Amino acid sequence: MSKLSNILTMMELLSSGKKYSTKELSETLEVSERMIRSYKDDMEKAGIYVDTIMGPYGGYVLNQSIRMPVRKFRKKDYDLLDKYIELEDDEKRRNDLLYLQDKIKGVYKGSKAESKELNLKDETLNKYNCLTRAIKEKRKVKILYYSYGKGENERIICPAEMFLFQDGWYVAAFCLLKNDIRHFELRRIIKYELLNENF
């Protein structure tokens, strides 16, 4: 996502009143912790002051009310782009379209009914059911995941939690490849397989 889109997303996260560590924000926005601190500085230059809580359980908290800009993209815009992404075979073009879709996703605003329809598409629901089963049964899952700039890569994950963020479902999981907790967006999981291996 662009810098502006990332800052807006960070503002939306912090406006919930929840405390976020720089690590949590960097993983969600897929940027470095240094960039998160830079975004915080940019927000404060614009008069949006973010409190810093120090210590091992510290993080950023927004203690002021902010009014987010009006968003004008609709669900049909998102769906149209989604259709072209599915049909695109060229990896570079597909990467560009996914990048554009992320921008649209950051400014997508629809009714609650539209959001519900977007979140519960059959493909996403199947992935959601597989991952929630893996969480319940403590089983590993093998996924083929599409990362921006890196293309497709296979990973084995130990799913821990499902969460909804900006009209999209994510799974928080321990990634054996990275040996760390990672957040995976369900729409970018191309293939998935529930393994008969426990964790």
Cα-based angle 162, 165, 169 (whole degrees, multiple of 5) = 45
pLDDT of 72 reads: 52
Question: Residue 139: what residue type?
Answer: R
Question: Residue 25: what residue type?
Answer: L
pLDDT of 103 reads: 62
pLDDT of 174 reads: 95
113 pLDDT higher than 50: no
152 pLDDT higher than 60: yes
Q: Quickly list DSSP for the chain.
A: --HHHHHHHHHHHHTT---B-HHHHHHHHTS-HHHHHHHHHHHHHTT--EEEE-STT-EEEE-S---PPPP-B-HHHHHHHHHHHHH---HHHHHHHHHHHHHHHHHB---HHHHHHHHT-HHHHHHHHHHHHHHHHTEEEEEEEEETTTEEEEEEEEEEEEEEETTEEEEEEEETTTTEEEEEEGGGEEEEEEEEEE-
Q: Pick the residue with more confidence: 128 or 140?
A: 140
Tell me, rounded to whole angstroms, the distance of Cα 143 from its chain centroid.
16
Q: How confident is the model at residue 131 (pLDDT cuts 50, 70, 90)?
A: very high
pLDDT of 95 reads: 80
pLDDT of 138 reads: 93
pTM (whole model) above 0.75: no
Question: Residue 40: what residue type?
Answer: K
What percentage of the chain has pLDDT greater than the value 70?
Answer: 80
pLDDT digits (tens, 9 = 90+) for 63-82: 766 655 545 556 677 677 77
pLDDT of 193 reads: 96
Report d(CA 115, CA 22) in Å as an integer: 28
Report d(CA 142, CA 148) in Å as an integer: 19
Q: How confident is the model at residue 119 (pLDDT cuts 50, 70, 90)?
A: very low
